[in-house]
Chains A and B, each alone.
Chain A
Amino acid sequence: MNKIKNLADLKKLQSEVQSKIKLREKGDSPEQLVQIKVSMATCGIASGAKETMNFLIEELDHQGIDAVVTQTGCMGYCYAEPTIELTIPGQLPVVYGFVSKHKAQEIIEKHIKLNELVDGIIPVAYSTIDNK
């Protein structure tokens, strides 16, 4: 039978990860990273925000993109769940609705990597000359 992982194994992992962090040694503060907030209230969870969030975390890690993926509450776009708010450093946040795994992939490929907007944006931080 395989030995079950416990906190002692975590200690080994800790020293490994720590040496990697030292190797990278770049002053990456959260403000300089891509930030994604996944809306995780009742409406989001019921629509599959958990799958979207897991996919985002795994895919970004897989592709080696440094990003912070966090949870947030309901933004009031329950009809368009799962919604995510994407902030590229130095730019205004953009909110996407109906983010399935497929859509999330598209957002990573186009918006995060190439900085091209993708269909499905909910105009939240939208400002015109009149309301500026």
Chain B
Amino acid sequence: MKDLSLHILDIVQNSIRAKATLIGIEIAEHPNENQLIITITDDGTGMSPEQLQRAIDPFYTSRTTRKVGLGLSLFKQNAEMTGGNFKIESELGKGTKVTVTFGLNHFDRPIVGDLVGTLVILICSSGEINYVFKHQTLSGVFELDTREVRQVLENVAISDPGVRLFLKEMLQENLEQIQISE
């Protein structure tokens, strides 16, 4: 993965496959503690303790189309390379939570990348799934709950090209406002 936004896109696909209806994506930058924390939560099917133990094994996957499952392992590796850590918690029937800490100023930390593009793809092209996005920096917090967006949109589809463009600009402007590090 070239940047963190692609990692997020990748890990959220796990939640989508676990039939989640509400997915939380939270990014917190703490320059004083030199930490960048990414948290992804979902209310999907969750994993049994055995599955959970094997989840970060690159040669374990619940798919039948291929024999490897690299998403979580790559994320973990990248985080640990920057002096960070990786934590995954899950409970059957409740959902899963992935917390990954990166060293914010570490030389090996991948850039955040095209976060707006990732969010727009997730929000507009994954059907009925709702997202709660939160990005926190020293200059402020930006939050977006797609349930509120849907409420405003009423019967207009969230995948409408006009809505897509609007969300893209809105995210861009708001994230610039809180000066996400790049």
Contacts and interface: CB of A to CB of B under 8 A. Distances in A.
Interface of A: 2, 4-7, 9-11, 13-14, 16-18, 21, 40-43, 45-46, 50, 53-54, 57, 61, 68-71, 73-76, 78
B138 interface: no
Interface string B54-70: 00000000010110011
Contacts, number: 95
Interface range on chain B (Cβ under 8 Å from partner): 35 or more
B1 A14 contact: no
B148 A17 contact: no
B155 A50 contact: no
Interface stretch (B6-14, B24-32, B45-53): B6-14
B156 A21 contact: yes
A11 B152 contact: yes
Contacts of B13: 40-42, 45, 71, 73
A5 to B, nearest CB: 4
Given A71-B121, A71-B125, A61 B153 contact: no
A7 B155 contact: no
Contacts of B17: 73
A13 B114 CA distance: 25
Interface stretch (B34-42, B81-89, B96-104, B162-170): B162-170
Given A18-B156, A50-B9, 12 more contacts: A2-B173, A10-B149, A13-B166, A14-B153, A17-B160, A42-B13, A45-B1, A45-B6, A57-B125, A70-B126, A74-B66, A75-B65
A18 B70 CA distance: 43
A10 B177 contact: no
A42 B114 CA distance: 17
22 contacts: A5-B174, A10-B163, A11-B152, A13-B163, A13-B166, A14-B153, A16-B162, A17-B160, A17-B162, A17-B163, A40-B9, A41-B63, A41-B71, A42-B10, A42-B74, A50-B118, A57-B164, A71-B126, A73-B13, A73-B17, A73-B63, A76-B65
A5 B164 contact: no
B93 interface: no
